[in-house]
Structure 1
Amino acid sequence: MRPHHLKHSALAALTTVALAIGGAAPAADLHVVSSGGFAQAYKDLSGPYERSSGDKLVSAWGPSMGATRNAIPARLDRGEPIDVVIMVGDALDQLMAEGRLEPGSKVVLANSPIACAVRQGAARPDIGSVDGLRQAFLKAQRVAYSDSASGEYIKRQLLDKLGIRQQMEGKAAQIPATPVGEIIAHGEADFGCQQRSELKPVAGIDIVGLLPPEVQLRTQFSGAVVRGASQPERARALLRFLAAPDNAAAIEATGLEPVAAAH
């Protein structure tokens, strides 16, 4: 079970939250949308934040990019009431450039490496080398990857780096919205890759390892306050809490590499 350590790791950060929003301020609903890569860390830390602040986090989930209805840009297009977004850094920067987020509110939370998985109990390919990864792709009957940052990298760059784009035509598929791990667990693919933090919570799969360093891509996850948010100061307090060094261990437990740990 993840984190008996949460209770201890969050204590110092809780004081910061109380000071930031003021102990006498009435509680409020804070609307947050997180993409999958940071979702488990956010879930694990949401309870301590709610208890310390008195606020209620109204949470929703969606990809940082893509054309699905739940994608964060699509939610903003519809005018959903959102105070905070947590998403892939590059996609967040694009929304910031478009004027949809509060200038200066971006907080870098973690970096996320890509890992690969097979169905639970299946033979585990050795992907510790570039050639081993290449063979794992080639030997798989069907390969799945996401429609967000990791999948875009696999589709646009990794297959070329491995020299297997042509061989993978027809048996490698980009999966919209559904987590890659669930596709593997249900037997719809026998090998797949996604952010390690998105694979870890999925039952029925075995994570076989990270992409080799030579072809690894670490994705930055950041949060920001939405332009016109109803609770901008509370939104900033939440982001400071999530980025607090005392919460680095909780973030790391989900498969991410916390930025706060380096400070």
Structure 2
Amino acid sequence: MATRLLLTDVTQAFSSRANFDVQITSMGGVDAVKKLQAGACFDIVVLARDAIDILAASGHVVAGSDEDWVHSSVAIAMREDAANVDVESEHSFREAVLAHRVGYSTGPSGTALLKLFERWGIQDQMRTQLTQAPAGVSVAHLVADGRVGIGIQQLSELKNVPGVRVLGLLPPGCEINSTFSTAIGATTTRQREVQEFIRFMHSADAAEIVNRHGMSPVKQHGVTKSGLS
């Protein structure tokens, strides 16, 4: 879901210059892996690196076709009308977390956040203060609806949501960063079209869109693993 809006803009930009369209289906990463392993047909998949590795190990993507695409950082948000809190340091962030109901995601950022609480030794204290967003639901909506006081999720999912104010990225010592990658479906019959789309995803035009969504493109070398130049 972290790349949902990004992919929407990238595919629209691509379709305006290509002679075919790309259709995107977005869902939580855990659900996506289950769906694809159950036999769903797809041409290309965009997921967190660990999910791509799972699909590669089970033979559901073309061997060697996986490529890292964008880096994404986790941020902190509150309701637009909420009193500001200090989250500039690890200590102040910890105090803010302990003082609020916290919304987090089902994805890798959520798993990393729980590990951070464990490192702090507050996992038991936080158990009754945590609200996990259902799969496919943005933490930003929990924040905007007032169901949580603080939302912690990928910056791309917190930006530009009505009623939500982003306080910033997680402070030094607490950073949570994810890499989202692409891979080609093992059963695709559209290799040419898929490779054309992947080339565009790594282009300068797509990089501008990536940056606009609060992510950063992965630097590409001359020839990628899928053989694209």
TM norm structure 1: 0.79
Give distance in 2, aligned partners of 1:239 and 1:135.
43
1:109-164: CA deviations, max 9, x gaps? 11111101111111121211001110110111x21100001001112x11023332
Structure 2 counterpart of 1:91? 51
Give distance in 2, aligned partners of 1:186 and 1:117.
13
Instruction: Please say if 1:114 is aligned against 2:74.
Output: yes
How far did 1:227 drift? 0.7
* Number of residue equivalences: 221
Distance 1:257 1:164, change over 3 A: same
Structure 1 counterpart of 2:201? 242
Instruction: Please say if 1:219 is aligned against 2:184.
Output: no
1:70-124: CA deviations, max 9, x gaps? x211221343331111110111111111111011211211111110111111112
- More deviation in 83-92 or 48-57? 48-57
**TM alignment of 1:27-38, pairs within 5 A:** 36-38=1-3
Greater share of helix residues, 1 or 2? 1
- The answer as to whether partners of 1:40 and 1:201 remain within 8 angstroms in 2 is no
Instruction: Please say if 1:165 is aligned against 2:165.
Output: no
How far did 1:261 drift? 8.4
Greater relative CO (CA pairs within 8 A, separation 6+): 2
- The answer as to whether partners of 1:245 and 1:260 remain within 8 angstroms in 2 is no
Give distance in 1, aligned partners of 2:120 and 2:161.
27
Structure 1 counterpart of 2:64? 104
| 5+ residue gaps, structure 2 | 223-229
| 5+ residue gaps, structure 1 | 1-35, 66-70
Match of 2:215 among 240, 248, 256: 256
Give distance in 2, aligned partners of 1:201 and 1:231.
35
Which amino acid is 2:3 matched to?
Answer: F
SS in 1 for 2:132: strand
Instruction: Please say if 1:137 is aligned against 2:97.
Output: yes
Structure 1 counterpart of 2:163? 204
Q: How much is the aligned-residue C-alpha RMSD, in angstroms?
A: 1.8
